[in-house]
Every structure is written in structure tokens, then in C-alpha cells.
Amino acid sequence: MLIYVVNGPNLNLLGTREPEVYGKTTLKDIENELKTLAENTGHEIRFFQSNHEGAIIDTLHEAGTINKADGVILNAGAFTHYSYAIRDAISSVPNVPVIEVHLSNIYARDEFRHKSVLSEVCKGVICGFGEKGYMMAFDFLTRRIKLMRNDSEIKIFSGSASREFTDKICKSLNISIGASKVITFSEGNVYVKVEEKVRGKDVYIVQTIGLNPNNEFMELLFWVDSFKRSGVNSVTAVIPYFSYAKADKKDEPRVSIRARVCADCLETAGIDRVVTMDLHSAQIQGFFRKPVDHLYAANIFCEYIKTMNYKDYVIVSPDEGFAKNARYYSNKLGVPLAIGNKQRLSHDEKAEIIGLIGSVANKTAIIVDDFTISCGTLIEIAKTLKNNGAKDIYAFVSHALLSEKGISSLNNSPINKLFVTDTIYNPVIMNCEKITVISVAEMFGKAINIIHEKDSLSELFE
């Protein structure tokens, strides 16, 4: 930490004037003591002697805007404790905690301490003789900064469904996965345990809801509960794929809006934030009262598409529902867009393409979609594209829930290559020559780091 020690007028007289009031230690003695303390605790300290009010104000602005000090110990001097200008200067740098020090023992009395207008904006007021006052202030300030920053330490834990993905995230951030344990008993009960101290921390639990959604979701609830009972400051649920996002509406009589039920369960368990990617229905963010950070694979896919040097190609949305997302690809890559007209008559995961909007003749077609289970929709739109004159066909899909049957269907389809992300650990796709996995773990790592630093995620969407 970088700590500024800002001293006001006349403090160079310490140790020589009224020792019964101000103590016998000189300002130089205090500086030496603080330097030793800072070195022993791994901090950096800088001293500023300000001989007038304006110099104190300039130093405070520098601490907040130029060198980004982590905290300030301020002894403004006898009269500047009543300076509204200094008070306003402290207010202008709210992210830098300031501790006010009074060396005179008379300021320990309430009638004097409460007269200081600086106490309105400082994080604490310390009264003490000589170096004792500064030492107390240094200790209080460093503890306060650690509390504000939560030690600036990102704590990321993995659920059983995302161990490999979490490992990639942590490697991108150069940190270790949090110690934890998951046991599934013979009758199916799940036991989770956090195996390190997390009290007061901001923790991130990574658990995709994918191939085994009910068990994975219940395990996530248990993780959130265990963290909350461990006294953490906050829990962010990082859900790379949120399976129940498909169930976003009541489109038939007597059915459940499952995405809303899941949102309610997560909030009841105690989540403070959700990070996810390519929700099937983006509007389910509104089911949560807590913040939801919605990431997209589109930029990563677009950069990959550029490297493939496709000639004369067109982006294809398999249906009207994904048309808006597909248009983003089309605009970003500067190529035409075609849209399939799909209908699904039942819940058997079989789709029928009954038409195509746009020209694909003699072009390379690139299908984009958010997830695939059986490859049914992708294969049907691929057949339609071939019938309409498309040359080569590629597909970019965010989440791959493919079974062995789906792999077999893909291998016998007109699709040349399927590109997916690693949001779901799916062993059956690993040996399929038609499938290439593109990792989005680094993007999630950046998002977690940005959230932890309380910055804006907008750079991930540019």
C-alpha cells in the first residue's frame, strides 16, 4: 500500500513546544518510526510538509488523482482542523480513506474533537501523543484499507460441473482455485464444504447448469448457502451456461416459468450477483433483483471467423428468435444475413425449417446459435442452405450439450465444421473431428477481475 502522511503548519515545532501538550518526540523521530513500521509491514510511505492550507489541498488532490495513494494520514495543524476547503478536498477523493490525527491531548476531549469539520469526511479520528498518534493512525488506516479492498484478493471456487473451466479462469488471472470439497453419496445426496477461510471475502463460485441441470443447480444452491454461513462479504454465482434460461415464459396452460423459479431460489440462498453467457432468453435478467452480468461469445467468434479467411460468406440465423443476435455478427463482420423460418410442433427437440429469408447461393454459410443438444436445428437449416445453393457450411454455437447420438448426426450432416465454447465440460465432443472448442475462460476471468475492481464491463463488449 502507498500511504501519504500529510502534515500541516507548525508541526516542525513538535518536541520543542509545550511538550506537556504535544509530547517530546520531534517530527523527524515520527517519520523514522513510521518508515520502519512501513518497511516491516511491506508498505510504502511518503511524507509531505505543507506550510499553508493550499498546499494541503494540493497534496490531497495528488493523492487521489495522480499517484493514487491507498490512504492518507492527515494532521492538518491547529487551525486547519476547521477548514471547509480542506474538508471539500477530502470529499473530492472519496476512494482514498483519510485518517485525521490530533497530537494534542486536549483534542481527545469530545468538545474539541467534534469541532473539527474534517471529522465529517474522514474515516477516523485518532488522538495521541507524538509518534503514538501516528502509529495508531497507521495501524487503523491499513486495516481500514484492507477491509475496503477485501485484501484485493479474488477468491474463485469451482463446483463439480466446471472444474476444468474454473482452472482456466484462475490460470488467466494467475491465482489458485479455492480449496473445496464435493461428495455425492450413494443415494444421491450432495455434500459441499469450503476448505479455507473466506470470512469477509468476496467469493466467486463457478458452476455451469448443463448436462445434469437439476443436480448441478442444487449443488450451486448448497455452495451459496455454505459461503453465506461462512461469513463472506458477497457471493457471485458464475454460471457459464444457464440451462433453465429456455423456460422464460408461460406459453401453455398450467406450466411453470422455470427460469423465474431458479432466480428466486438463487436469491433466497443468498447470491449477490450472477455472471453468465449467452442466455437463451436475455430478458430473464429481469427475473433477478440482483445484478446480472450477461457476457457474449459473439466477439470471440467474430475474431475467430476473421482468421479463417472465408470468401464470400453469409451469416445465417436458424430461426427468427436468434435473428437479432445474428445481425450483430453480420454488422460486425460486414457480410449479409440470412434467416431460417423454423417451427417446433412439440417438445421432442425436433425442429422443421419451412423457409429461408436471404440469398445463400454460391456462398459459404456460417450458422450462429446459442446452444445445441441434438444438432437437429443445425442440420435442418444446413440441409435448407444446401438446397438453396450454399457451398460450404460452418456453425458457431455458444453451448454444446451434444450426446453421442447428436455427434453421429453431425458427422452425417452437410456441416463442414462446428465451433463451440468450453462453457460445458462435455467429454463426448472431444474426439469428434468436426468439432473445434474455443475457450471463453479468459473472458470470464477478465469479467471477474473487472467486477472485483468495481470497474465497467463495457470493454468486453467493444
Cβ neighbours around 110 below 10 Å, total? 8
Calculate the dihedral angle through the C-alpha atoms of 302, 308, 311, 312, rounding to the nearest 10 degrees.
-20
- Report the first-to-last Cα separation within the chain, whole angstroms: 32
Beta strands in 259-351 (DSSP E): 273-277, 292-295, 313-317, 337-343
**Given strand 292-295, what is the order of strands in its sheet?**
155-158, 202-206, 234-239, 273-277, 292-295
Q: Which residues pair with 221 in a beta bridge?
A: none
The C-alpha cell of 182 is what? 464435493
Where is 419: in which H helix or E strand?
strand 417-421
**Residue 314 burial by Cβ neighbours in a 10 Å radius (0-12, 13-18, 19+):** buried
Tell me which of 123, 201, 342, 363 is the catalytic residue: 342
- Do 330 and 396 contact (CB within 8 A), yes or no? no
311 is an active site residue: no
DSSP string, 172-234: HHT-PPPPEEEEE-TTS-EEEEE-S--TT-EEEEE--B-SSHHHHHHHHHHHHHHHHHTT-SE
Q: How far is CA 277 from the centre of its chain?
A: 12
Mind telling me the catalytic residues? 342
